[in-house]
Structures are given as C-alpha cells and as structure tokens.
Amino acid sequence: MILGNSKPAQVLEADGLQRRLPDGRQLLSDVYLRLTTGTVTGLLGRNGSGKSTLLQAVFGPQAVADASVRHNGRYVQPAYRQPGLVNYLPQTPLLPPNMTLRAAAQWLGVPTETAFARFAELRARQAEPVGRLSGGLARTAEALLLLHAPTHFTLLDEPFAGVSPVQLEELAAEIGVVRQRKGVLVSDHNYRLLLPLCQHLYLLTNGVLRPVSPEHSVEELIAHGYLPPTEPPLRQYSVP
C-alpha cells in the first residue's frame, strides 16, 4: 500500500505471543498482532486481561518464549533496539520528575514547537521539571513527545488516564493527525474517545486477541460481552 505522502506503508507484526502466569492462567494464548503506518489500532480488554503485558511483549523488554516480532517481514526482536522503529509509553510515568520537558524533547529528538504546537501551556512550561506539572499534564506531554519522535510506530498504554477533559480532546486529535505518517497502537479504558480514532481494533479476552470492526459502537461491544457494562473509573495518574 502507498500512503498519501508516497512512502510505502511499514508493517510491524508479532505472533506466537504466549504468557502463562505463575497461578496457571493463560494470559496470552498464541497472540497475533499487526500494525501498519497510516492507521490507529485500538486495543481493548477488561482490567487485568493482559493488554500491558502484550504491549511490553511487542516492544521487547518482556521476553516471551516462541514469540516472533517482525518489521516488514524481518525479525527484529527486541523491537526497541531497532533505531527509529518503535517507542512506547508505559502505564507508569516515563520521564524522570527532575528532567525538564525541553531536555526530554532533546533526548527524544523532537522540537518542542512541533510536539506542543497545539498545547500553549506545555510550550510555556518547557523549562520546568516534569515533576512540577500536574499528573495529567505530564501524561499529555509524554504522549505528545513519543508521538512526534521519529519512529515508525508508537505504542501508548493508557495515554488518556488522568488527563483533563480539555486536553483529552486535543490529545485524541493529535493522535489522529500523527497517524498519517505513523502506526499508533493505543490501549485505553476511555472507549468513547478511543473508538472513533481507530481504523483497526483488537479485543483481548481470556488470552485470545481477536480483530473486531471499529465500526461497532461501545454499546454493541458491551452487548456482545467484550467490554464491561460500565466503564471502570478512570485511574488517576500521578507523578511520584
């Protein structure tokens, strides 16, 4: 496939992902996942279904036996060691609290004017240490820096957690813009914000990852039993 900017689409695939917990529960059962540039892929599942474990298995720090991770068909495990391939926002804070946003941007190779173009408060506070920002603002900054960093793919684990309503809309819009040149995987419990962004959607239930149509409404996904009847309370995100 050729994208609008004439660059061939990049493909990041993982298969054979297996993870059994010490208590015997099969958390991931022969999972196959495919990401392409030019799209947002949503990853949904109940609390504790293994979404974070899956993202870590793709990114690479959590080695998974028999797994195969490939970039355009070439074996790249661990993916994080491949320059310019993929970056990852974990569920926990990424940036050290004493690092300034400006230093973080330099470290990631992103001009702050680009990453924070639509976020005046972050531009104004780029000389401050991350630990002085509210948890939601720090989360927004981390997600924006990774989205604008020069990688083909970005994996975001709960980027919307703790983010204020105004910034939520802006961050979601930014994901929609960035995906024109990147492949973005987002796992989040804010289904109503996430679903409209997605061109592809996966549901992780009982260790099995299955693709579903992103055309489904949240209500349909709940009715099919894929999602809990009520959304869990948004976890508060705080920088220690």
* Residues ≥6 apart with Cβ < 8 Å to 165: none
Q: Which of 12, 14, 17, 27 binds ligand ATP (CB under 6 A)?
A: 27
Q: How many residues does the chain have?
A: 240
| Distance in Å, CB of 27 to ligand ATP, minimum | 5
Q: Is 139 in the site for ligand ATP (CB under 6 A)?
A: no
Is residue 28 within the footprint of ligand ATP (CB under 6 A)? no
Backbone angles phi, psi at 81, to 5 degrees: -85, -10
Distance of CA 108 to the CA centre of its chain: 16
Query: How far is it, in rounded angstroms, from Cα 181 to Cα 84?
Result: 13
Q: Residues 104, 140, 182, 95: is their CA dihedral positive or negative?
A: positive
CB of 90 to ligand ATP, least distance (A): 10
Q: HSE-up of 208 (CA within 13 Å, CB side)?
A: 5
CA distance 14 to 22: 23
Given the complex with ligand ATP, which of 49 and 151 has the nearer CB atom?
49
Interface region with ligand ATP, contact rule CB under 6 A, candidates 41-49, 168-176, 177-185, 223-231: 41-49
Give the nearer residue to ligand ATP in terms of CB position, either 48 or 96. Answer: 48
> Binding of ligand ATP at residue 144 (CB under 6 A)?
no
* 154 contacts ligand ATP (rule: CB under 6 A): no
Taking CB under 6 A as the rule, does residue 22 contact ligand ATP? yes
Question: Which residues are registered as beta bridge partners of 39?
Answer: 183
Among 49, 87, 151, 167, binds ligand ATP (CB under 6 A): 49
CB 186 within 8 A of CB 151: no
Q: Is 93 in the site for ligand ATP (CB under 6 A)?
A: no
Binding site for ligand ATP (CB under 6 A): 21-22, 27, 45, 47-53, 91
